């Protein structure tokens, strides 16, 4: 009688290490996308504020597309369209590009709201003291506007970190993709997803706690 061949195996310590490495990949792609997207979004927000109707007719519709179209569709379309125009990008690079633009589209309105949060009389007072436009932006608008929109930006950052799981559709082995691989092999979805959720919590909680403490410090 021949032995039965088993295609499944139980959860092992090495699988926990595999999930940990995938969590680091999630953190890496999220950190790059959030950083670059926030900087780009700040520029877009400034353009929307200063550009008036010109930016409303040109830049705003483009940003609306990236905010409105589901992220998974953007990822799949870009990953398959990029080679047609000569961009041979791997799943990681494609994910960073789309997540960066997606983050920038979300941050743009946040940044514009931060600029608008500074009352015009305060800006006129800064200019009357001899400040240049860029000195006014740096010493008046940035400190006040940042405090006004910081909670909204934290919400965007945490959302993008969770949305980075969608890059798994391109084959990038981040936390969700690693979880799917292990679930297929171990047939233990509850255990795997619980551990994956714990990793997501470990990535997000320090950011939210630090943001809360920073807000308290600013309020004093």
Yes or no: say if 38 and 109 are a contact pair by the CB < 8 Å rule.
no
User: Is residue 60 predicted with pLDDT exceeding 70?
Assistant: yes
Yes or no: say if 213 and 42 are a contact pair by the CB < 8 Å rule.
no
In a domain, 39, yes or no: yes
Q: What is the pLDDT confidence band of residue 167, given thresholds at 50, 70 and 90?
A: very high
In a domain, 163, yes or no: yes
Identify the burial level of 142 via C-beta atoms within 10 angstroms of its C-beta, where 0-12 means exposed, 13-18 middle and 19 or more buried: middle
Q: Distance (Å, rounded) from C-alpha 94 to C-alpha 82? A: 9
Q: What is the pLDDT confidence band of residue 132, given thresholds at 50, 70 and 90?
A: confident
Alpha carbon 124 to chain centroid, angstroms: 35
In a domain, 3, yes or no: no
In a domain, 83, yes or no: yes
In a domain, 4, yes or no: no
In a domain, 88, yes or no: yes
Q: Distance (Å, rounded) from C-alpha 208 to C-alpha 205? A: 5
What per-residue confidence (pLDDT) applies to 88? 87
Task: State the average pLDDT over residues 212-218.
Answer: 81
Structure confidence by residue, pLDDT tens digits, 4-51: 444 556 677 788 898 899 999 999 999 999 999 999 999 999 999 888
- Greater model confidence, 36 or 86: 36
Yes or no: say if 175 and 19 are a contact pair by the CB < 8 Å rule.
yes
In a domain, 1, yes or no: no
Structure confidence by residue, pLDDT tens digits, 118-131: 888 888 888 888 88
Question: pTM to 2 decimals?
Answer: 0.87
Task: State the average pLDDT over residues 158-175.
Answer: 90
Alpha carbon 82 to chain centroid, angstroms: 21
What per-residue confidence (pLDDT) applies to 216? 81
CATH of the domain at 199: 1.10.3720.10
Q: What is the mean pLDDT of the chain?
A: 87
Domain of residue 117, residue span: 13-219
Q: What is the pLDDT confidence band of residue 52, given thresholds at 50, 70 and 90?
A: confident
Structure confidence by residue, pLDDT tens digits, 63-84: 999 999 999 999 999 999 988 9
Number of folded domains that form the chain: 1
What per-residue confidence (pLDDT) applies to 6? 47
In a domain, 8, yes or no: no
Q: How many CB atoms lie within 10 A of CB 217?
A: 8
């Amino acid at each position: 009688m021949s032995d039965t061949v088993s295609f499944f195996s139980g959860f092992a310590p090495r699988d926990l290490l595999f999930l940990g490495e995938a969590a680091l990949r999630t953190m890496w792609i999220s950190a790059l996308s959030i950083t670059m997207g926030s900087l780009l979004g700040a520029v877009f927000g400034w353009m929307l504020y200063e550009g008036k109707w010109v930016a409303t007719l040109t830049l705003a519709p483009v940003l609306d597309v990236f905010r409105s179209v589901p992220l998974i569709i953007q990822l799949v379309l870009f990953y398959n369209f990029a080679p047609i125009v000569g961009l041979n990008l791997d799943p990681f690079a494609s994910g960073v590009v789309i997540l960066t633009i997606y983050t920038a589209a979300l941050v743009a309105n946040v940044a514009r709201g931060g600029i608008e949060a500074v009352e015009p009389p305060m800006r006129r007072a800064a200019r009357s003291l001899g400040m240049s436009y860029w000195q006014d932006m740096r010493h008046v608008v940035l400190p006040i506007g940042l405090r006004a929109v910081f909670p909204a930006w934290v919400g965007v950052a945490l959302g993008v970190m969770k949305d980075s799981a969608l890059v798994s559709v391109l084959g990038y082995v981040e936390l969700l993709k690693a979880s799917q691989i292990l679930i297929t092999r171990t047939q233990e979805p509850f255990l795997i997803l619980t551990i994956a959720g714990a990793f997501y919590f470990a990535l997000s909680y320090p950011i939210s706690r630090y943001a809360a403490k920073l807000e308290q410090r600013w309020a004093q």
